[in-house]
Chain A
Amino acid sequence: MNTTSIINESLMGKGSFWFPAARTSLAPHTDQLYYWILWASIASFIGLFMVVVYFLWKYKYSPTNKVASKQIIDNIPLEIAWTVIPSLICLVIFYAGYIGFLHISLPPSNATEIHVVARKWMWQFDYPSGIKSIGELVVPVNEPIKLIMTSEDVVHSLYIPNFRIKRDVIPNRYSRVWFNANAIGNYQIFCAEFCGDGHSAMLGSVRVVSKEDYQKWQKEQNSGADLPLDVLGEKVYNSKGCNTCHSIDGSPKTGPTWKGLWGSNHKMSDGKMVVADENYIKESILDPKAKVVAGFQPVMPTFAGLLSEREINGIIEYLKKLK
């Protein structure tokens, strides 16, 4: 293990009153600017409303104050002051925001490049070593990572709150975003641009690991041909994003739980009962909208072309174990 402390966060984790915990080197700068404007705003607001309340109390209508005591309608120095001073403050805030933005948007030249493909409704990550993962982005800690992103259908937006970054992912175009995570842990990925029925289910996570664990993970991903089917199934469950929507402990998420699924009778949204056997499982992976379990949204994307025949068999064997 390296020197960075391990933080076990349930994705977003505890943060301050306002923000989730900052987990990149640049995120604290964004927070600082926010607090700076926040306190300046609170001070101005209280100042303004102290004046307002004083006026309301001092000049309220009363038998002794039936008409305005003096009709003051202009004061040029005052007008200049409350034009120029806020303008100068705004210029300072603008500059601070711009400098912060330049750091966020310009990746260092030594950054590791990972390709991101977004489609309704999943995130797919392509690593330089030829590995592909779905729903979970695995990166080494304390290394700059540059994401080169494109979409296969509509506009999506990659948003990682703990890193304070967000960038639209646009069809027929490449956009980029970068970060340097400074703490080991799991962090939430949201889609931030409305993309349809599964928008709020288009979640993902970033798993930040030590450099050694990253090497190990890459090796594991590259092997697999010799694994027993049920172990392969468990690996697919964790690395291809199944775990984003399906639990293995019985709790419902975006999709039905896998626990006790095998061989059980399921009611579909059209009222029919279906037994969860090999054919049903395979169909649900390749053509998820064909049969939708009652009470769930038809938001699962197809995995056709993304899983090998052996991996699908692995999932089936894995399901059999989840009694």
Chain B
Amino acid sequence: MSSEPTPAGMNYLNFPKGIKSWLCTLDHKRIGIMYLLFICISFALGGLFALALRLEHLNPGPLLFTAKQYNQLFTLHGAIMVFLFIVPSIPASLGNFILPLMLGAKDVAFPRLNLASLYIYVIGACFCVYSMIAGAADTGWTFYTPYSSTTDTSVISMTLGAFILGFSSIFTGINFLVTIHKLRAPGMKWFRMPLFVWALYATSIIQILATPVLGITLLLLILERSIGVGIFNPALGGDPVLFQHFFWFYSHPAVYIMILPAMGVISELVTTFSKKDIFGYKSIAFSSISIAIISFLVWGHHLFVSGQSDFADMLFSLLTFLVGIPSGIKVFNWIATMYKGSISFETPFLYFLSFLALFCIGGFTGIMLGSLSLDVYFHDTYFVVAHFHYVMMGGVVMAFLGGLHYWWPKMFGKMYSEFWGKIACAFIFVGFNMVFFTQFILGAKGMPRRYFNYLDQYQPLHAFSTYGSWVLGVGFLIMGFYLIDSLVNGKKASDNPWGGTTLEWTTQSPPIAENFLETPHVTQGPYERGKVAH
């Protein structure tokens, strides 16, 4: 943190000045902004790969790529989107920026650890980029053995990248956990914390407990590939299904690392734009925590056809239904929040509505996949691809975009074009459904995933899905333009443009380096209205 106080009229963006002051900053806001930049670059890269993959499927037969290149592309798309974009997306960028502000704190508990997590992220990303250049891995982001133990592509650098990125994730988790415990403003009791904070708390628990398992697993895979220790490869006396258990023991909870912060953002959006206190505060807060706990007990639902025992299949199916309940509770509470409110339809709220619709579809299809006999049919088909894109992109990305538009004025002190914001949201919503709803039908018709080529009968559906990807791409292009434009030409944002009630809206936009001129004293719940002007 800068030793001298911020002069009047200056803010965290322009004081202190210089590239070094950014690279060595300990300010959570600057770290959040840098994370945001890298995350957006990763998203753009992963998105370009996705467009290329869809283009390849315009017609059956080779169009742009060879089978191997196609396999490398979908691996890169998955690995980049999961490890470089979606896991850090909301916590590391929006969370880093907003969490201390929401708590009324000056910074996170360990500012240096925070900066370290950013640099570790960059180092991890470098390994992934290196892997791209040096014969990109073609294993899928799941790295299933023994394929990954035997392929001649650069699996080691990619897994090492994911291994390193795990530490970045763990550091952020530890930092948030301690910050939430120790740095709440005077008077902010546990049940006076905003729900975004509860969501980040639950996320941090999973990050700290689950990520090491992924690290160990990937390290074992690296050992197997490099010095031939037989753990997963049957040719060396290993067990390939063991890898699948280890991998999903992290990667299923990781799904909740992604969706929990998104749910936190959604809670903020619905209360602010309905001008109404949240409905069922404790239900939403506790459902976050229960999701965090149950999420550790459902990994086996990725292995229903992999040869675990029928008894294990039964248990994992039952627990999978259980983990769906808290998500349902949240949806009901968000809808009830709008009751007797005063709802305004600004861009962030449109993303809330998009989230609600898409996440529900993701949830309903999740119930189908959780039922054992149906999963036998749908497993590893486009139905699964569509399902997790509805949850990951329709859920997490919509919430991320909603949060980005919601806090953009706070982050940069500028308003973006509301008109173009709505247009872009419409393109993204329509394009998304064109791409992925089609894939539910493809999957139900039996189209397996990760197929370079496909039977002629699937062509019309594949082509329609590809057209949708262009609509989606246009939406993101528009968004890129008006967001960058707002930094230069945007109207100056007021301190509280949406009428939010949480503490970040009580300080100036953009905030000063110390966040608040005076430490806030909290005397009421996070969403209580009456004392807030709008």
User: Is chain B a partner of chain A in the same complex?
Assistant: yes
> Is A61's CB under 8 angstroms from B329's CB?
no
Using CB atoms, name the residue of chain A closest to B368: A37
Given A20-B446, A153-B146, residue A170 in contact with residue B307 (CB < 8 A): yes
Contacts of A198 in B (CB 8 A): 67
Task: Give Cα A161–Cα B448 distance, bound, in whole angstroms.
Answer: 10
Q: Which among A51, A61, A164, A295 is the interface contact of B335 at CB below 8 angstroms?
A: A51
6 additional A-B residue pairs with CB within 8 Å, beyond A37-B374, A97-B375, A172-B239: A61-B275, A93-B371, A97-B374, A104-B376, A159-B380, A197-B66
Q: Which of A52-60, A136-144, A206-214 contacts B (4 or more CB under 8 A)?
A: A52-60
Within A195-236, the residues touching B (CB, 8 Å) are: 195-201
Contacts of A94 in B (CB 8 A): 317-318, 321, 370-371
Given A61-B343, A67-B275, A297-B66, residue A101 in contact with residue B313 (CB < 8 A): yes
Q: How many residues of A contact B (CB 8 A)?
A: 91
A280 contacts B by Cβ under 8 Å? no
Contacts of B277 in A (CB 8 A): 68, 71, 73
Q: How many residues of B contact A (CB 8 A)?
A: 92
> Is B453's CB under 8 angstroms from A67's CB?
no
B438 shortest CB reach to chain A, Å: 13
- Seen from chain A, the residues whose Cβ lies within 8 Å of a Cβ on chain B are 11-12, 15, 17-20, 29-30, 33-34, 37-38, 41, 44-45, 48-49, 51-52, 55-56, 59-62, 65-75, 78-79, 82-83, 86-87, 90-91, 93-94, 96-105, 153-155, 157, 159, 161, 164-168, 170-173, 175, 188, 190-201, 252, 254, 295, 297, 299
B364 contacts A by Cβ under 8 Å? yes
> Is B367's CB under 8 angstroms from A12's CB?
no
Contacts of A188 in B (CB 8 A): 446, 455
B464 contacts A by Cβ under 8 Å? no
10 A-B contacts, Cβ less than 8 Å apart? Answer: A12-B457, A59-B340, A75-B279, A91-B321, A93-B321, A100-B374, A154-B240, A155-B240, A199-B452, A200-B452
Closest 4 CB pairs of A and B: A97-B371, A100-B373, A161-B446, A172-B234
Q: Which among A33, A73, A200 is the interface contact of B373 at CB below 8 angstroms?
A: A33
Given A159-B380, A297-B62, residue A101 in contact with residue B451 (CB < 8 A): no
Using CB atoms, name the residue of chain A closest to B443: A18
Task: Give Cα A55–Cα B375 distance, bound, in whole angstroms.
Answer: 36
B345 contacts A by Cβ under 8 Å? yes
> Is B234's CB under 8 angstroms from A171's CB?
yes
Q: Mark B220-240, 1 if CB is under 8 A from A, else 0.
A: 000000000000001100011
Task: Give Cα A12–Cα B454 distance, bound, in whole angstroms.
Answer: 13
Task: Give Cα A195–Cα B145 distance, bound, in whole angstroms.
Answer: 10
> Is A59's CB under 8 angstroms from B372's CB?
no
> Is B280's CB under 8 angstroms from A73's CB?
yes
**Which of A65, A71, A83, A254 counts the most B-chain CB atoms under 10 A from its CB?**
A71
Contacts of A48 in B (CB 8 A): 331, 335, 360
> Is A82's CB under 8 angstroms from B332's CB?
yes
> Is B448's CB under 8 angstroms from A73's CB?
no
> Is B150's CB under 8 angstroms from A154's CB?
yes
Contacts of A19 in B (CB 8 A): 444-446
